């Protein structure tokens, strides 16, 4: 058996002592990350019954799981990820890379041609530890999420995307401020203290009136 590294040992110890890991297990959520979305929703009122939601980078499904609960049986949640994801009640799962036009068309078909009221993106690249590599990768993914949001969001729609502060961050926020009536930066309590992640919450999508 391969010897476990010190860093992986620290991660495991932190993981199993994490209050949000325990809460997720107790409440039946698929990941601790759901508590980030719950806090954002409680603060920014992201969902309403009957809404259509697209969740990018959805696996293992915690965000989609919560969104489905919030929008109810008349709503629609589309979960998209390049990784396989186990089915969830009230959630349509599409596996594929949203860079692929065929996958994007599958998303549109899955939501029945409706515009989305909410687009969520908790996507992050596999981190190398080199910020000169990781930051461009993370911004690229955020830009792809934004591009999809522009194509599917209904007027007054909401957009939540994970960002990391660094090169390209300020320009991204400035562009979002032109497209949404309000933009806020949030650091949920469930974000790990060592993580540099921050969430942009855009509300009141202006569509073509930017």
- Parallel/antiparallel/unpaired status of strands 116-121 and 52-56: parallel
CA–chain centroid gap for 155, Å, is 20
Q: Is 63 annotated as a binding-site member?
A: yes
Tell me the DSSP string of 132-174: HHHHHHHHHHHHHHHHHHHHHEEEEEEEEEEEESSTTHHHHHH
Q: Is 122 annotated as a binding-site member?
A: yes
125 phi, psi to nearest 5 deg: -75, 165
Q: Is 97 annotated as a binding-site member?
A: yes
Instruction: Catalytic residue, from 162, 178, 189, 203: name it.
Output: 162
Q: Sheet of 153-164: strands edge to edge?
A: 91-95, 76-81, 52-56, 116-121, 153-164, 197-205, 180-186
In the three-class reduction of DSSP (H, G, I as helix; E, B as strand; rest coil), residue 203 is classed as strand
Q: Is 81 annotated as a binding-site member?
A: yes
162 is known as an active-site residue: yes
Active site residues: 162
Sequence ranges of the binding site: 61, 63, 81, 97, 122
Sequence ranges of the binding site for S-adenosyl-L-methionine: 61, 63, 81, 97, 122
């Amino acid at each position: 058996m391969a010897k476990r590294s010190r860093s992986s040992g620290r991660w495991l110890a932190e993981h199993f002592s994490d209050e949000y890991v325990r809460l997720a297990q107790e409440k039946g959520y698929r990941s601790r990350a759901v508590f980030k979305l719950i806090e954002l929703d409680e603060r920014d009122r992201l969902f309403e019954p009957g809404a259509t939601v697209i969740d990018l980078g959805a696996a293992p499904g915690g965000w989609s799981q919560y969104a489905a609960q919030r929008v109810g049986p008349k709503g629609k949640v589309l979960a998209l990820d390049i990784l396989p994801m186990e089915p969830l009640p009230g959630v349509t799962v599409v596996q594929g890379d949203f860079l692929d036009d065929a996958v994007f068309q599958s998303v549109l078909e899955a939501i029945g041609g409706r515009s989305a009221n909410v687009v969520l993106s908790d996507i992050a690249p596999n981190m190398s530890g080199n910020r000169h590599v990781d930051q461009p990768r993370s911004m690229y993914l955020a830009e792809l999420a934004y591009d999809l949001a522009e194509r599917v969001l209904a007027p007054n729609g909401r957009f939540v995307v994970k960002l990391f502060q660094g090169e390209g961050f300020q320009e991204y926020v400035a562009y979002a401020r032109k497209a949404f009536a309000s933009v806020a930066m949030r650091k949920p309590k469930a974000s790990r203290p060592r993580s540099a992640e921050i969430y942009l919450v855009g509300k009141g999508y202006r569509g073509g009136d930017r």
